[in-house]
Amino acid sequence: MSSSIVLQVENLVKTYDNGVEAVKGVSFNVNRGEVFGILGPNGAGKTTTLEMIEGLRPITSGTIILDGINAVQHPYKIKERIGIQLQSSSFFQNLRLNELIEMFAALYGCKVDPLKLLDDVGLKDKARAMVKELSGGQKQRFSIATTLVNNPVVVFLDEPTTGLDPQARRNLWELIGQIRERGTTVVLTTHYMDEAQSLCDRIAIMDDGKIVALDSPGQLIRQLLARGFTPRTEVHAATLEDVFLDLTGKTLRD
């Protein structure tokens, strides 16, 4: 395996006990240091795929190699190397952010400087705040901070910007860009196509348990045009989101 490949998934299958074939033989590689997006409609099998890679759900069959380690045979070695974003509702609401970071670090058996980590995600001045006191965007930034405590090789983000206002979304895009700049690979899911286009080096599109396309956003668009696609509506040089951000500014509100 080339060392530029950090995650290798081959013929991954998940059939749930109720007979649902959620993942039907999925294969893909993620390169070291890239932002890799998994897109697809609800029910496509994205979460099942991610959670099998993360070791949270048993696989039916297939192979997962992460950072050269067989994830199915060595789930604990994998957990040391990955960061998983939890929903902020699963944090203890009455602990302060610096205490929660210390708790996560203790779980991983590693030492971190909570203030440095909170500073990295723009939350240094909230170190003594509780999760319940944070805005939606701050909660998302905090949950990303918790994925970084063990200095992971790959971070998995499941819909990191869902429900955020445009300013907070753009702010999170910057944060994800910074995580990539420090050499950490990011695998994310999103329902926002502009987000995938702007953030992801490559994208896998899933439908009905299978990958139906995998390439860079630019290549996927070129392939669509080569198939003779013509846009249904007039193409504008700006979007409504551009209007919104022009009128309300890019400054974070939380």
Q: Which residues bind ligand ADP (CB under 6 A)?
A: 16, 18, 20, 22, 40, 42-48
Shortest distance, position 42 Cβ to ligand ADP, whole Å:
4
The string of DSSP letters for 78-114 reads HHHHEEEPPPGGGS-TTSBHHHHHHHHHHHHT----H
Q: Which is nearer to ligand ADP, 61 or 239 (CB)?
A: 61
Q: Which is nearer to ligand ADP, 38 or 175 (CB)?
A: 38
Shortest distance, position 237 Cβ to ligand ADP, whole Å:
33
Shortest distance, position 45 Cβ to ligand ADP, whole Å:
4
Q: Are 82 and 153 in contact (CB under 8 A)?
A: yes
List all residues 6 or more positions away from 14 whose beta carbon is below 8 Å from its beta carbon.
Answer: 21, 22, 23, 45, 48, 49, 52, 57, 59, 60
Q: Which is nearer to ligand ADP, 40 or 83 (CB)?
A: 40
List all residues 6 or more positions away from 226 whose beta carbon is below 8 Å from its beta carbon.
Answer: none
Question: What is d(CA 193, CA 221) in angstroms, rounded to the nearest whole number?
Answer: 12
**CA-based Rg of the chain, rounded to a whole angstrom?**
19
**In this structure, what DSSP letter does residue 130 have?**
B
The total of other beta-carbon atoms located within 10 Å of residue 89's CB is 10
Q: Which is nearer to ligand ADP, 103 or 214 (CB)?
A: 214
Shortest distance, position 190 Cβ to ligand ADP, whole Å:
11
Shortest distance, position 197 Cβ to ligand ADP, whole Å:
19
Q: Which is nearer to ligand ADP, 49 or 98 (CB)?
A: 49
The total of other beta-carbon atoms located within 10 Å of residue 144's CB is 22
